[in-house]
Amino acid sequence: MTPARNQFLKIAAAAALFAVAGVLVWRFLQEDGGVSERAFFYDQSEQKLFVADRGLVPPIQGINDATEDGVRAVVVSTNGRPDDRRTWVVAYLETCTPELKRQLMAARAAGTPPEIGRTAAQSLRLVRRPQDADWVALTTPEGERIVSEWVTAGPGDSQPVVCTP
Q: What is the pLDDT of residues 104-162, one digit of tens each?
A: 999 999 999 988 888 899 999 999 999 999 999 999 999 999 999 988 766 677 789 99
- Asked whether residue 88 falls in the same domain as residue 108, the answer is yes
Q: What is the pLDDT of residue 37?
A: 92
The reported pTM is 0.74
User: Up-side HSE of residue 58: CA atoms within 13 Å toward CB?
Assistant: 25
- Asked whether residue 19 falls in the same domain as residue 60, the answer is no
DSSP secondary-structure letter at 60?
Answer: B
Q: Domain count for the chain, please give it.
A: 2
| Identity at 160, one-letter amino acid code | P
- Asked whether residue 63 falls in the same domain as residue 13, the answer is no
Per-residue pLDDT, averaged over 33-46, amounts to: 85
Domain that holds residue 27: 1-31
Q: What is the pLDDT of residues 82-95, one digit of tens each?
A: 888 998 999 999 99
- Asked whether residue 72 falls in the same domain as residue 149, the answer is yes
Contacts of 2 (CB under 8 A, 6+ apart): none
pLDDT band for 4, please (50, 70, 90 cuts). Answer: confident
